[in-house]
Amino acid sequence: MNRTLRACNRFGMGATVGDPALADPRSWLLGQVRSDAAALDDASLPTASVVGAANRALIEAQRSRDEGAIRVAREEIRGIARAEGGAALRARVTSTAPFAERLVAFWSNHFCVSVPAKPPIAALAGLYERQVIRPHVFGRFEDMVLASARHPAMLVYLDNAVSIGPHSAAARGLARRGRERGLNENYARELLELHTLGVDGGYAQEDVEALARILTGWTVTGFGFADRLARGRDRRGSGANDNTVAFAYQDVLHEPGDKTLLGVKYGEAGEEEGRRAIADLCRHPSTARFLATKLVRHFVADEPPPEAVDRIVSRWTETDGDLAEVSRGLIDLDEAWMPEYRKFRAPQDWLTAMLRAVGARDVPEPIGRLLQQLRQPLWAPSSPKGYADTKSEWADPDSLLNRAELARSAAGRLSSAALARSSPGDRRTSRVDPERFLEIVDVSDSDPLVTLLADGSIAADERTALVFGGPAFQWR
């Protein structure tokens, strides 16, 4: 087994033609476990106020039924989404800390929001990844959960922004006007089932209801509904002003009284109830087991070896969910380096690995369309579960044929890019020798791919397509 390739492909985002072998692959990975490794140069990206203004403009245009203003606002949001998506994918392709980028992708999928689900998410998804995921990849799990729980993207996506305590001041006011809006359990359920304890984590429906009541009042400003409810009332709590899309705690929405979650009583404490509940969920033994299993599934095998899971559970528990220590624990897993354990590349991984293979310094403009074609567009899973992380989801015949055709259509551009990177002073030929691509796939000398790449009677572009569309490159 080539340990450099295992480090680059299993833990990173893909190997690059021409890069030297790593003297110590584990040390190379460990050196990426630092607080700034996932930082993104976002100086050119939309600020939170720009994102908020764009969403606010769309809401106001829709209220006034101004079709021209609606078109302008939607185009502004599409521009924000393109800029954010391009920056996120560019980081995966060009980062010198690809282990950190893999973890960004993992946690972004774990705490996913989905652009198709709600119109505002298109402008918020990239900001969400920058504000919630990247700063906490090597921080405390509890801090990442709290950041997610308080972010407008998650609050809007899973409807907590419009959840009203049945006995809250807002509910009483609505009842007097003959209107009813009540408790929404969507976020509470996913926080338990998908973000912390897991579906087998030992909670019941009454715990979902209790957590939903605890989290009433956790809403956002700038989307109209919560603003209108609170306007003119004596608001207690935290949050930004009503002209900004941001987290806000609105006490008028909060369900009063004590609540009991997983046998623990939470006395009436407003916003603090939610903070306490999230802290307790993050420290629950089921959370350690659920997340350890998911991480080992991602870095080792679709069927996680129980011994490897146990070691990550221990690391998680000993460090109280310190994700830097947990990440080091993943690197230390012997199973992650064993050739018998393999992971099939999901479409985003496969396309990213192709671009990294040739040393691309940017992402092609149609990458969004290509990911759509491959069934894994950025920030667009069909459910809060996120995208699947197993071979069975991505290795059906139609998907494999799709990859082969895409590899064939891109072969010329890919081999030219590799040549331009590896031989900047040589412009006498327009294609890199396809045999160079053996540097990025871990195959034995007897593998048929070796013979095919050496066959000069096969066109260079066809041989390049054999690498990226062939079996070996589908695995990491």
Average pLDDT over residues 358-368: 88
Average pLDDT over residues 110-137: 97
CB 455, CB 394: distance < 8 Å: no
Beta bridge mates, 246: 221
Average pLDDT over residues 309-337: 99
Residue 312's contacts (CB-CB under 8 Å, 6 or more residues apart) are 292, 295, 296, 326, 329, 330, 333
Average pLDDT over residues 171-182: 86
- In this prediction, residue 229 has a pLDDT band, given cuts at 50, 70 and 90, of low
Q: From CA 45, how far away is CA 41, in angstroms rounded? A: 8
What pLDDT, on a 0 to 100 scale, did the predictor assign at position 421?
53
Convert the pLDDT of each residue in 155-168 to its tens digit. 999 999 999 999 99
Q: From CA 132, how far away is CA 111, in angstroms rounded? A: 9
Per-residue pLDDT at 426 exceeds 70: no
Q: From CA 78, how far away is CA 18, in angstroms rounded? A: 37
